[in-house]
Structure 1
Amino acid sequence: MSTEVSVVIGNGGMGRAVARRVGAGHRLLIADYKEDALEPVAEQLRDDGFEVITQSVDVTSRKSVAGLAHTAAELGRVTRLVHTAGVSPAQAPIPAILAVDVLGPALVLDEFTDVIAAGGAGVVIASNAGHFYPGPLSPEDIHALSDFSAEDLAGHALLSPDRYADGSIAYQFAKRAAQLRVKAVAAGAWGDRGARLNSISPGVISTPMGRAELDGGDQGLVRSLIEASAIRRTGAAEEIAAAAEFLLSPSASFVTGTDLLVDGGAVAAITTGRFDPTAF
């Protein structure tokens, strides 16, 4: 029997929680842009009994992502892929948000199409911000975000930084793009491969990225939205990892092409009128 491989891209708070949750019993390949941050995490996992391999990756480079996919395939049968890498408005300017959060998922899903095993599953971490994007997106825009190659998408007007008034709008757009890409790839290339694919849209999670959002320029809006939500707290990275574990498991064998909101009811608070973001 060939060795099963789990791949986790992104070494932030969610990525580390996911790796620990889904990597037991598999060869675990963890990847991140910051190579020097990988080894301390890998050593801790190894001390806890995980078999860990690390590799640096630039998710905006097809060559780099293809190299990661090649490494994964050489390690064994790739049955789990989780893409958590991303940047927020508190961390990066608009061009980087568009590159990492739009082109990154497109490249990862494309390069892993021929690597993911039949019966395997993938999860892309998006954000509930994607549900807030005001648009509009035309049918042609949706087609481009869903189906264009990353190279063609990079030159599309939708990825012009000048289109976005601020980083928050660019981030909402980028996460909506990720949700659309996942749905299209799940129905198409990954479905043809016999693999499942879904996205998770977290709310504010208590990770370094989430805490930066809470302390950023929109902190009044974010904190008020949390208070208006049903659960009334930030989430934990382990709660996102638990959702990913479910979507990757046989228990979710009839679930593909969907976006799972794990946001404590934030989107529900807005769509039901309990919270009005335009008041801020």
Structure 2
Amino acid sequence: MKETLVVVGAGQIGQAIARRIGVGKQIVLASLRIEEAEQAVELFRHAGFSATAASVDVSSRASVSALVEQACQLGPITGLIHAAGVSPSQAPVAAILRVDLYGTALVLELFGNVMASGGSAVVIASQSGHRLPALSQQQDRLLALTPAEELLQLDFLQPGQVLDTLHAYQLSKRANSLRVMAEAVRWGQRGARVNTISPGIIITALANDELNGPRGAGYRSMISGSPVGRAGTPDEVGHVAALLMGPDGTFITGSDILMDGGVTSAFRFGDIAQPVAQGGA
């Protein structure tokens, strides 16, 4: 049986990574909307890849469990790309926390139970997690270690504590990198690795929603004020993920790679002004 690579969130970033590392593997392209997954599968098959479509709702344990079972039937799971999520302009606070925070914890838990020895995973977090003000050591530990089913009951994630959708997004993305750091210990017991990538503004459907949404001016300011002076591309994320998931990255686990064109640097030490809310995108 072929090794299986699972892509949770078959958008442009997930596809770009899969193109880099999916040759010779059975690729499962999963999205909330099966139509999106099927469109991605058609593109991959026409390019010579072996691919199959799946539907998954990362905020549902039953749905993620079904995806794990489907993938295991195809062959040993040696790769996972988790790129599903919603942005501050796409959903209310509760949905962001359930998809971006709880959903990521769920995917890490359930795929971590079956990942083959030598396997690796990348979770797509965000530069936004790097600009959330420091949390307490106890809050960090709670985000990293609280069982997935109890995460959304944490006191500092309750209504009134989370200020707005941007704050919810930042908390979720900070939690993603903390969660991966903790999960790397458990995954290591199976001989597997897991890391996060925290991209800046990468031109995707999600980024375009933000650029054309209520925070569009702030996004454009981040791009123009960054040291690189441009947005990134999905293929650039794919290059970094290929390093982390491939043979040259076998000493890297539990780590987070910030790749934002220097936007975070400019927030801290340059000319980009901090927004009135909790931070940038």
TM-score (norm 2): 0.94
Runs of 4 or more consecutive aligned structure 1 residues displaced over 4 Å after TM superposition? none
Aligned to 1:49: 48
Query: Structure 1: how far apart are the matches of 2:245 and 2:146?
Result: 26
Query: Structure 2: how far apart are the matches of 1:235 and 1:133?
Result: 21
Query: Structure 2: how far apart are the matches of 1:279 and 1:90?
Result: 16
Assess if the C-alpha contact under 8 Å between 2:197 and 2:257 holds in 1.
yes
Query: Structure 1: how far apart are the matches of 2:45 and 2:11?
Result: 18
Aligned to 1:108: 107
CA positional deviation for 1:18: 2.0
Which aligned pairs between 1:44-193 and structure 2 lie closer than 5 A? Answer: 44-134=43-133, 136-186=134-184, 188-193=185-190
Query: Structure 1: how far apart are the matches of 2:80 and 2:156?
Result: 27
Query: Structure 1: how far apart are the matches of 2:273 and 2:46?
Result: 48
Q: Secondary structure at the match of 2:6?
A: strand
Q: Secondary structure at the match of 1:17?
A: helix
Unaligned runs of 5+ in 2: none
Aligned to 1:221: 218
State the AA in 2 paired with 1:7: V
Which aligned pairs between 1:251-270 and structure 2 lie closer than 5 A? Answer: 251-270=248-267
Aligned to 1:201: 198
Moved more, 143-152 or 11-20: 11-20
CA positional deviation for 1:238: 1.0
TM-superposition CA deviations, 1:226-269 (whole Å, max 9, x none): 22211100111111111111110011111111110111111111
CA positional deviation for 1:119: 1.0
Assess if the C-alpha contact under 8 Å between 1:19 and 1:30 holds in 2.
no
Q: Percent identity?
A: 43
CA positional deviation for 1:194: 1.1
Query: Structure 2: how far apart are the matches of 1:158 and 1:196?
Result: 30
Q: Secondary structure at the match of 1:197?
A: strand
Q: Secondary structure at the match of 1:267?
A: helix
Structure 1 pair 279/33, CA: closer, same or farther in 2 (3 Å)? closer
CA positional deviation for 1:279: 7.4
Assess if the C-alpha contact under 8 Å between 1:28 and 1:53 holds in 2.
yes
Aligned to 1:235: 232
TM-superposition CA deviations, 1:150-200 (whole Å, max 9, x none): 1111222233243222211111111001111011101x2111111111000
Query: Structure 2: how far apart are the matches of 1:200 and 1:92?
Result: 22
Query: Structure 1: how far apart are the matches of 2:275 and 2:28?
Result: 43
TM-superposition CA deviations, 1:70-128 (whole Å, max 9, x none): 22222112111010000001111111100000001100010011211111110000000
Q: Secondary structure at the match of 1:60?
A: coil
Say what the alpha-carbon RMSD is for the aligned residues: 1.5
TM-score (norm 1): 0.94
Query: Structure 2: how far apart are the matches of 1:45 and 1:16?
Result: 9
Query: Structure 2: how far apart are the matches of 1:194 and 1:51?
Result: 26
Unaligned runs of 5+ in 1: none
Aligned length: 277
State the AA in 2 paired with 1:172: Q
Query: Structure 1: how far apart are the matches of 2:256 and 2:113?
Result: 23
CA positional deviation for 1:41: 1.5
Query: Structure 2: how far apart are the matches of 1:62 and 1:165?
Result: 27
State the AA in 2 paired with 1:94: V
